[in-house]
Structure 1
Amino acid sequence: MSTGLDKQSSTLRFEAIAMFQRLEKNYRVSSWELHGLHIWPILRIKIGHEIARRGLASSEQVVDRPPMEKLRMLTWGLQEYLVTKRNLAATDVAFLGSYSHEVAMENRPYNRFFEPLLEEELTQQLHTTYLQYGYKEAMRCNKGAFDQLFGTMSLHVFAQLGLKVGRKRMAEDWWKDFLLLPDVEVVFEKLQEQLELSSSTLKKYVLSSFNIHLRSQQYGKLFKDLKPKVLVCLYFYGNDGLAAVYAAKRQGILTVDMQHGPLRNATYSAWYNVPSKGFNVFPDIFWTWDKNSSQNLSDWTRETAHAVVIGGNPWVEYWRDLRGDVAARTKNSGVSKVLYTIQPLTTIQLFFDELIDCIRSRDDLMWVVRLHPRQDAAQIQEIEKHLTAKGVWDKVELESALSSPLPLSLSSSSVHLTNYSGTAIEASILGVKTILLHDRGAKVYSDLVKQKQALVLDTGNSLNELLDEILDTPTVTHNSHSISPSQVLLDLVKQAHA
């Protein structure tokens, strides 16, 4: 069986992680610093993402902003920086996230990881601030359950006004200083030879650390005003996350990264030589959803200054109590729902022949295709056209990721399908078994496969066989122990006070 995805890219990802470990063991990469900023973790993360993208034809398109949109961004940024920032109050917890982590709820954007934490008891004890990056998102966002909201893109808009002239020279100086670090030449030779990375690509990633350095200065000024005790972020390994974590740690603020997807990748896995005090762009604490995810991090953090806590998935815990009622109603309906959570890949990759044949032949199943937040209108139309041409459009229901809560949709499902999405973890927490359609998923979720919470579609079986195997097995709720994410957050704030 083949989904049309390039399996060589999946193998290369794990080979890259092994190579990173060899470099960390044999060379002084972990000591690389510029102006106090650790460079190697940034470089490794960027390269890891580059490798992960190879062979995966994405539907996403990078579109340059038109002049009027750039002008609106500048106007908004100045207003946000000069007016909103001035009125920010000191806070207990600063949350850093983006619109991609939000769903529509109660007729407004709702951060599905952060806002479930803000129960009435917690909001009475803590003052909270939502720091949202991305100017469009911050412009339309409602502060919701948070005490205050600030769009961090305004920091960069304001800072860049004074850096246009000197930025290029400063970046070149940064690059020249980097080349003087120990073992750079030999490490770059190996990266170019074994991972097929060009010298220009490597330079680009080194200069991204310069960008992070500049952003950290702006976050540092913001944190001096906010005085948070704890910074909780999603996607710490993006430029904003790395900059914010670095700035917060320099001020003694406890930093936490909350899991938002699978952790078996070059960012979270298999770091070999971490400095005794930890990397200063890595959070103090990694908040994980479950024991499997926690173990993946504990394997390398155990002897470092970084710690791991199992705090649960706030969004899943929020909906967990509905699991039994929804499952019972679905069973009584006599129809088994198959939920397919897709990713921004090409339509042909997502809907391969065996899947199409299965949808066409299984009248006993209701097929729900859950769109990824980054699926654009053009591809949605393309999906409809493709499924119509295959004669199965009337058998499929499309579900928006922004309008329908994932835990609720999973709870009403008998089977979950995905290529390698982190929804496999969330499904396992709710007791829904997953069929992994790609070998990358089999490697990323090997623990779930061993625990029989996930099955793998390969040449030795068929999709129909796997569906029947799951449907014939009684549903048993997995990871049924209760976790209170809100209490975990309160404990972290107390830890920061200690």
Structure 2
Amino acid sequence: MTEMSQEEIKRLILKLEENHPVNEWNLYGVDLWPHIRIQLYLFLLNLGVESDKEVVLNNKTSSKEDWFKIKFRMISRFLSAIKKLHHFFKELKPKQIIFFGGHFHRTLQNGVYFNRFFDPMIAHHSLHKDIYFIEYGKVFPNSFNENAIISLHHALNSYKLLVKTRNKLSLGKNKSQARLKGYQSFYKKIQKQFPEFESLKIDESSLKKWAFKINNTKGFFLKMYRKVNPEKLLFLSYYGYDDLAAAILAAHELNLKSIDFQHGPQTNVHMAYSYWEKHPDRPYNTMPLEYWNWDINSKKNIELWANKTSLIKSKVVGHPYVTYCLNQKKDQKIDTEIFFSLQTLEIKEMLPEAIVKLIKNTNYKWVFRLHPRSNFSSVDLTDYLAENLVPNEYYVIEDALSAPLPWSLARARLHITNFSGCVIEAMMLGVPSIIIHKSGQEIFKSYFNNEKVIFLDPLDENFENEIENIMDRKTKDNPELTETQIIDPRI
């Protein structure tokens, strides 16, 4: 299937939204359009991108296994789950704030795994004992403020086991006969244009199962929130994880303030953050009520649609980690010419021939920064550069965990990327950015009126000369941030 541009994806989604009653789609008290829309958006973004086939494992128990042993193991797990949950809820204490984040949001700083977005606020405002930190995914040993960290799945998996057992006993049976108005027409229209769409499992039957699951999982968070009694909940990316949808749903039910904290670019082609033109007579209950943004452009993009509801707020709070790192190292020495922020594309797409030639011909010192969820290793990158005869002494490769991003970025004269959110962080640090990918040209269109952000096409025959001219005339500006810009999340 042909790859679509971000602008084409946006137009398609908005057309579908305009022509169907998406704001009415609700099952088991769960609003469905945010889930459907974001699934569709991510699907369309990855059209034409090859991915590894999923290995399906056969987890069926051997028929030869003793029936009594199976039942005994099931009962043991059930009783263990009850015990774990009882202990978990018993140990919870009242806190002002609950943060939600993943291990991939952490960096290794002075031997401690530090959440780049939330821990600066916790450290700066001494909130260590006033919060819980819900970590979804794995929990690193030796994490900052580890006494406040809760492994979400450690407790939630026990709850899900009890719910699953209850449902098997038909005490919580899925009995909904509700139909979604106009959904069949919507689904068939997309299915006809994109046959692979079926793999998303958002047909009406699958949506019923999804909503039933979210509604069931909600119970865990309701009980936790009632025990902790937080004033607000902060999420790093509200979308993409079913458990977080349940967490936000529970927050709406208890009238708790739910906040999405910016974790990357939120421009007008990112359909999780842009152009939500249709709402119920209230906010969608699987989306947050507030959006805290790094910069004014991100705030304005949310406000374009949020202001129409009068129920959703958007504000600028700055980037706590950038400010935190500047405060730690106020006099940062510039010892790198070019900082290149990598992403999860193929290496040869991110580093096309023009970039390879630039590295070899100019003798600049380069730092290549791997993405936190990189799909290739530093060895893969070294091999690629070696195959293209790039001398080792011309570059350094940084793991996303090895050094704080702002410290590395602040040492550079120039930042180059395909479409990384580091563009915004570089602006804050006074480092000019060159965007070299057509997707980046779309994503950061609203930033090009700022001379710190420039698009250059690597296929242009003058590409290398343009970079050299920029290096000759560009000097690093003073950072825009000050110490006072680490927001206190309690306000």
Tell me, yes or no, whether TM beats 0.5. yes
TM-score, structure 2 normalization: 0.85
* More contact order relative to length (CA 8 Å, sep ≥ 6): 1
- Report SS of the residue matched to 2:134: strand
Cross-structure match for 1:213: 215
Q: Which residue of 2 aligns with 1:232?
A: 234
CA distance in structure 2 between the aligned counterparts of 1:10 and 1:286, rounded to whole angstroms: 28
- Summarize the Cα distance change of 1:35–1:479 in structure 2 as closer, same or farther, 3 Å threshold: farther
Distance 1:165 1:425, change over 3 A: same
Match of 1:34 among 27, 32, 39: 27
The residue number in structure 2 matching 1:3 is: none
Task: Judge conservation of contact 2:324–2:486 (CA < 8 Å) in 1.
Answer: no
What are the Cα deviations for residues 287-331 of structure 1, in whole angstroms up to 9, with x where unaligned? 0000111111111111111110101111111123478622xx32x
Secondary structure, counterpart of 1:118 in structure 2: helix
Question: Given the superposition, is the C-alpha separation of residues 277 and 145 from structure 1 closer, same or farther in structure 2, using an over 3 Å criterion?
Answer: same
Q: Superposed, which structure 2 residues align to 1:460-475 within 5 Å?
A: 460=460, 462-475=462-475
TM-score calculated relative to the size of structure 1:
0.84
Kept in 1, the 8 Å contact 2:428–2:481? The answer is no
Counterpart of 1:9?
3
Return the alpha-carbon distance in structure 2 between the equivalents of residues 65 and 107 of structure 1: 37
Aligned partner of 2:102 among 79, 98, 101: 98
In 1: Cα distance, 2:225 partner to 2:389 partner: 56
Which residue pairs with 2:249 in the alignment?
A: 246
Question: Equivalent residue for 2:490?
Answer: 490
| CA distance, structure 2, for counterparts of residue 91 and residue 288 of structure 1 | 24
Equivalent residue number for residue 496 of structure 1:
none
Residue 326 of structure 2 corresponds to 320
Q: 1:167 to 1:387 in 2, by over 3 A?
A: farther
Equivalences for residues 93-492 of structure 1 within 5 A: 93-119=97-123, 121-123=125-127, 127-134=130-137, 137-138=138-139, 140-142=140-142, 144-145=144-145, 148-164=148-164, 177=177, 180-203=179-202, 206=207, 207-238=209-240, 239-264=242-267, 265-304=270-309, 305-321=311-327, 325-326=331-332, 329-330=333-334, 336-363=336-363, 365-375=364-374, 379-394=377-392, 395-458=394-457, 459-460=459-460, 462-475=462-475, 477=477, 480=480, 482=482, 484=484, 486-491=486-491
The amino acid of 1:411's aligned partner reads A
Q: Contact 1:130/1:150 (CA < 8 Å) preserved in 2?
A: yes
- Which string of whole-angstrom CA distances, capped at 9 and with x for unpartnered residues, describes residues 218-240 of structure 1? 22222122111110010111223
8 Å CA contact retained: 2:417, 2:433: yes
Relative to structure 1, the CA distance from residue 347 to residue 167 in structure 2 (aligned partners, 3 Å threshold; closer, same or farther) is farther
Q: Structure 1 pair 302/113, CA: closer, same or farther in 2 (3 Å)?
A: same
Structure 1: state its 5+ residue gaps.
Answer: 1-5, 492-498
SS class of match (2:98): strand
Q: Is the 8 A contact 1:323 1:430 kept in 2?
A: no
Q: Partners in 1 of 2:175 and 2:462 — Cα distance? A: 52
Task: Count matched residues.
Answer: 464
Cα distance between partner residues in 2 of 1:289 and 1:255: 17
Q: CA deviation at 1:481?
A: 5.4
Deviations 1:48-91 (A, max 9, x none): 11112223446x88677999xxx9xx899888645444312111
Deviates more, 1:232-241 or 1:283-292: 232-241
Which secondary structure state, in structure 2, belongs to the residue aligned with residue 325 of structure 1?
Answer: coil
Alignment-mate amino acid for residue 232 of structure 2: V
Q: Describe the superposition over 1:100-157 as per-residue Cα deviations: whole angstroms up to 9, x where unpaired.
A: 1001123121111001002454428x711101112xx23x344633762211112431
Larger CA deviation: 283-292 vs 75-84: 75-84
Cα distance in 1 between the residues matched to 2:167 and 2:378: 40
CA distance in 2, matches of 1:176, 1:197: 28
Relative distance call for 1:25 and 1:382 in structure 2 (3 A) is same
Structure 1 residue 198, shift from structure 2 partner: 3.2
Kindly indicate whether the alpha-carbon contact (under 8 Å) linking 2:102 and 2:135 is maintained by their aligned counterparts in 1. Answer: yes
In the alignment, structure 1 residue 87 sits paired with structure 2 residue 86? no
Q: Which moved more, 1:203-212 or 1:429-438?
A: 203-212
Of 111-120 and 196-205, more deviation after overlay is shown by 196-205
1:54 aligns with 2:47: yes
Task: Please give the alpha-carbon distance, in whole angstroms, between the structure 2 residues aligned to 1:438 and 1:84.
Answer: 48
Q: Distance in 2 between matches of 1:370 and 1:79?
A: 44
Q: Which runs of 5+ in 2 are unaligned?
A: 60-72
- CA offset at residue 487 of structure 1? 3.8
State, as a whole percentage, how many aligned pairs show the same letter. Answer: 24
Query: What do you get for the CA RMSD once the two structures are aligned?
Result: 3.2
